[in-house]
Chains A and B, each alone.
Chain A
Amino acid sequence: MTSSPSTILRKAFPVPAQPAPRGRLAAVAPWLVAACIVGYALVAGGYPATVVGFALIYAVFVSGLNIFMGLTAQVSFGQSAFAAIGGYASAILTTQHEWGWLPAMVAGLAAALAAALAIGYPTLRLKGHYLSMATLAIGLIVHEIAVEWESVTLGYLGISGVPPIDIAGYEVSSDRAVLIMLSACVVATALAVARIRSSRLGRAFAGIAGSEDAARALGINVARYKLVSFLLAAAFASLSGSLFVHVVGYVSPEVFSLHMVILSFTMLYVGGIGTVAGPVIGALVVSVLPETFRSFRDYQDLAYGAALILLLIYAPRGLAGLFAALDTRRKP
């Protein structure tokens, strides 16, 4: 706090902060459900572990997207580009140049941030949907580069043989080791988002989300904070891309297609946009849901679609919001 030219606050008596009456259960419930899903995959191993592993990678990606779309209320259709940059950097540097996974991941992060800066700096100053259009373009451009730059990316063939991540000489390659590593990544990501959300930075994002005019009138540099938000989203996207290629051992252009964008939007809205738990529970439920309908055979997609529609009708604020609503309803 800087010194104040005004003493008006001294006249008001200090009111002790009262914690908002909010249900503990509502805050914990999404995490319990997430822990149950991951726990089941840990025990079961095999195919469930693969599905949940992908979901956890998506949880990192969607958490980043949530900083830009949820906390700051902007729209980006091109986050897949930053995941592709991170993923391809990791794949190319570790297979073709014998880099370690960590420096390769950092190099991918730097490249993704540079790309986000190059596209975000000019477009985030504009009002309206220019940024959304620009992000859609960069998603398509990066996809095209991955397809056409065959000497490096091997085009549609893709890059295989990407080594797994090793930590202090221990290769993270078994189903359970991968799940534990990815869970740690998701917890760290969620913690980071929670801390950003309740900080001065997060309040600047919330100000932009609420009213750009009011934010500017309070001295918030809207263009600068939008850029910071965009860069943060790109960083998480890049890290998730790197995680993907190390876990799967393979990368091709289809991995980071428009389908990834649609899936991540679904996860964000089903889970609860703007919340910390939403992207995590959203990624897990949207990934696991189609599998639970596998016995429906031909009607699997239909059942999945119907389930999504029901979710959006009965939980318009997402699953994270649903728990909170149920919790307040029980109160007198």
Chain B
Amino acid sequence: MSTSDDNAKQISPEAAGDDAAASSSEIKNKEQGNGFGGPVTLFFILGFAVSLILGWVIAPEMLYSQKKQPIDYNHALHVAEVGDGCESCHFFRADGTFSGVPKLELCVDCHEEVQGEDPNEIKFVEEYVVKEREVPWLIYSKQPDCVFFSHAAHIKGAQMDCVTCHGHIGESETSRVYEENRITGYSRDIWGKNIAGFKKNSWDRMKMDDCAECHQKEFTVQRTDVKTPINRLLDNFIAVSFPGMEAPAGIGDSVQTQRDACFVCHK
């Protein structure tokens, strides 16, 4: 493919010294629209627009595969039936660990036989209860294994509500589609539905920054005492020379939380 520029170069040696030819070449260039508002700009805008659509709409769609839960589960129905709210099924074990998604054993307490006419329940009993197979639930909130997370510390210790992180899943009547990241294998819920990472509710997204958001809010005044001798020296220097100025973070401080070291959460 030859561009107008090339043509101009090819022309110019032949027309060396010919001013008219040179100026006609400039005119030609202008005519061809090499300035603003011409095809170049158009292509720029085109490329810009295509990549934006690709980046904001198409790629995010392609990045996630859509999966259906093995059983369409009705949380609202179950919550109404059980006595203890979320903890009826998602309970803490005697040793303080969190049970997460219940095992078949718990479901069998009620569903040893089919109770209603819901095809989902019939499927559940026939496919899983009778065959004693665990249901391969897809877990929307499953975090990478490299993170320590203690439910007990948040629910029992900090008295947080399930909804704060998990949203109003307890009121859902059907199981929504599980979107799995084709690269990482994790649920879309972690990054959030909004591909730009914006969120309206605290449960819309659960990346490290979202943990940090809360932790930073709660603990801005606290600082770790773990500091290197150099840091301590610096602290003293600042305290003496610039009274009132805040000392820099110590080595234990995380950029995200301004508190604790990486290994507090990361294995």
A, B in one complex: no
> What residues of chain B have their CB less than 8 Å away from a CB belonging to chain A?
none
